[in-house]
Structure 1
Amino acid sequence: MAWSPLRSDARVLRQIRLFADRYAVTTIGYGEAPDGVVEHLRLPDHVVHWHKDRRLLALRRFETAYRGAPVTVAAAELLADQAKFDVVLANDADTLPLALELAPYGGVHLDLHEYASRQSEESWRWRLFVAPYYRWLLRRHGREADSASTVGRWLAREYRREFGLTCAVVPNAAPYADRTPTPVGAPLRLVHSGLARRGRSLHVMVDAVRSCQRDVTLDLYLMPNDPTYLEQLRASCADLPQIRFHDPVPPEQLGDALAAADLGVFVLPPVNFNYRFTLPNKFFDFVQARLGIIIGPSPEMADLVRHHRLGVVLDDFTGEALAAALDALSDAQVADFKAASDAAARELSAQEQVRGWVRAIDTLAARVGG
């Protein structure tokens, strides 16, 4: 269960691919059926997954808000005629109460992609109306899940402290790719992939390229989540031909696109809890593309960069710090970073990192018998 377009949700796709060869997988979510499933229950495209009655949230009538949410109503209708399932894998907190109501024979595993109650805490509206709802949901239902997982160690610690949830850690690792690091380019080739959202502060990379003393290029593969912001970003780069905007590429093609670069860049100012402790898909995509990595001082990523010697951890999240780091790098250092990604690629691959899901789902399935 996932209230997302399943064919483009990288984490959910990894779950589906992992279990489709071992179990008969039914999915419920948006968009066309993912490959390998036995049945797909498609949520109507017009149903907005995040919509909830603001009046009910303000009145703290959270149960009523959940039951009346359009996505809950639509999903309940799709599931009404289904036979009882053996195991349910519920993605993110919003799916959990409905998953528990299905009462699968083996149980429910909850996979939390973000820290639900602090996801957009930079917004006062979120803090006032939405955060209390998610705190209620997790306090009321979180420990009813038979097992749980999340994307990083810091999030797991906070889920345990605040909600008493014990979460296995399953990072958003990409599948292992058999690649060889490419020689360092001249000019130095930077790349970033991800969402075009204002809160992602993508201008930091633009500022760095503008003030860099060395010759660099920057290729951006951005999802048009906020078309207005994306056009503003394009306009700000009109005098920078070394910055190139590309259409998004499918997940299975992204690795080849990234591998043409030297350094993957991700500098995300910590405007909320999830941004502070982010460990995103793109980090592992960079590793599988055999790139060096430059990041801001985000603890989850910084630990891995330093442990595996993958690249540079900046002192802060500014364009000035990024430009200074790029100017200070030698080609030999970049080559060493790319070689370090190559050495760490198998350990940091999905094949190794998804074992937490395998243990959890196999444990629940073993309860069923037969």
Structure 2
Amino acid sequence: MPSLPSLLILTFSPIRSDPRVLKQVELFKGKYRVSTCAYGDAPDGVEEHYPLPSDARGWSSDKLGLITRQYERVYGGMTAVQEARKILPRGQFDIILANDLNTLPLALELQPRLGVHADLHEYAPSEKESDAKWRVFVAPFMRWMCRKYLPLAASVTTVSQGIADEYRNRFGVQVGVVTNAAPFLEAEPTPTAGPLKVIYSGAGQRYRKIELIIDAMKGVDDKVQLDFVVMPNEPDYVDELKRSAVDLPNVRFIDPVPYEELVSLIRNYDVAMCFLPNSTFNLQNALPNKFFEAVQARIGVITGPSPAMVALVESYGLGAVTTDFSVEALRAALNGLTENETAQWKSAANDAAWTLSAESQVALWESAIAEIAAP
């Protein structure tokens, strides 16, 4: 029997806590000879793992190179690239699945026999657009990588239609959409009873403006209780959030749990908060993990008027959309929660669970890699 094609899944992230990359591993192991290169320990079920040192950086610190636009030098100076070059064999993989723009030049350099698929987790040229220095010096480097390397990928995917459209319009490449859907969970909605329990889960990063949710809870009836499960990405910011909520009896911060336990935790609630301000292009077009985790947990959602989330909320009847991104609009939505309506949202999530599951969404990855493997 002929051996299976070899597939390297490449990411500059801690792979065992990266939900999107773990879905790729689960999808392809057994169908290909899967190897991984990432920070941390190997995920379960891969044939070989190439660990990156924890202090290797997947972003540039070459200020002079950025200022003078010596972008080949800038990319080669990234320590994650340097370390990966030391350990990854050139020309030995059939296919490479490159996660995020910063791995794509390396993936092409490794000369896989059949080709590279690029999966872009956001719109890279706007990654940190709220930072003026980043916009001036780093964004042009990101655009250079897009222009130079995206056309060389055999196929490209990203997380939402708005981001896919922007890549196509700016760089002339066709980009498919694989959402950050959570794995399907065989479950039924839990009963709804007061007080209504709301959860916000996500990364503790200042640009997400989580403080707006705390401000909205000032003046919300005690019929609503809100729990935060916030990862300490920026510990000082998370501490600020906790201090600002200390006088709110219906707000708690609870400890994060491993990703594989998150949906089970969310099932203890009635509504998930998927409220992301539209302060950047990527946030405007966000379709985050937490949205799909709520669907699999069979609970409702509250979102701001983010187009990608609004489309799904309205198509499937999954929850409430605030009139704008203000504290007042979010407070009104929270005060408007009722047991009957929340129970209806849970039922709608149950009906949509398979359609909005990872198993349904990842078919595009499967077909894209199969097309590269076909020759």
**Does the alignment pair 1:340 with 2:348?**
yes
Contact 2:60 2:74 in 1 (8 A): no
Which structure 2 residues correspond to residues 148-159 of structure 1 after superposition, within 5 A? 148-159=156-167
User: Which residue of the partner structure matches residue 16 of structure 1?
Assistant: 25
Residue 183 of structure 2 is matched in structure 1 by 175
In the alignment, structure 1 segments of 5+ residues that lack a partner are: none
- Distance apart, 1:48 and its partner CA: 2.0
In structure 2, the residue matched to 1:35 is 44
CA distance in 1, matches of 2:144, 2:60: 17
Q: What's the CA shift string for 1:265-289, capped at 9, x where partnerless?
A: 1211111100110001111001000
Match of residue 357, structure 2, among 327, 330, 349: 349
Unmatched segments (≥5 aa) in structure 2: 1-9
Counterpart CA distance in 2 for 1:91 and 1:166 is 17
Return the match for 2:66 from 33, 40, 57.
Answer: 57
| Of 215, 224, 236, the match for 1:207 | 215
* TM-score of the pair, normalised by structure 2: 0.96
Quote the residue 1:225 is aligned against.
Answer: 233
- Out of 116, 120, 126, the residue aligned to residue 118 of structure 1 is 126
Shift of 1:83: 5.9
- 1:1-370 matched pairs, under 5 angstroms: 1-79=10-88, 81=89, 84-367=92-375
Q: CA deviation at 1:82?
A: 5.8
TM-score normalized with structure 1 length: 0.97
Encode CA deviations 1:245-302: one digit per residue, 9 max, x unaligned. Answer: 1221111100110010000012111111001100011110010001111000001111
Alpha-carbon distance in 1 for matches of 2:125, 2:115: 24
Residue type at the aligned position of 1:153: Q
Give the Cα–Cα distance (whole angstroms) in 2 for the partners of residues 82 and 278 of structure 1.
35
Contact 1:204–1:267 under 8 Å retained in 2: no
The ranges of structure 1 where at least 4 consecutive aligned residues each deviate by more than 4 angstroms after the TM superposition are none
- Deviations 1:57-86 (CA, angstroms, capped at 9, x unpaired): 01111111001211111111111x466101
CA contact (8 A) 2:11 2:98 kept: yes
Question: Is the CA contact 1:181–1:339 (under 8 Å) kept in the aligned structure 2?
Answer: yes
Paired with 1:133 and 1:43, the residues of 2 have a C-alpha distance of 23
1:184 Cα offset (Å): 1.5
Residue 7 of structure 2 corresponds to: none
Say what the alpha-carbon RMSD is for the aligned residues.
1.1
Q: Identity, % of aligned pairs?
A: 46
Quote how far apart the aligned CAs of 1:101 are: 1.4
1:346 to partner: Cα distance = 0.5
- Quick check: 101-110 or 210-219, which moved more? 210-219
350-359 or 180-189: bigger deviation: 180-189
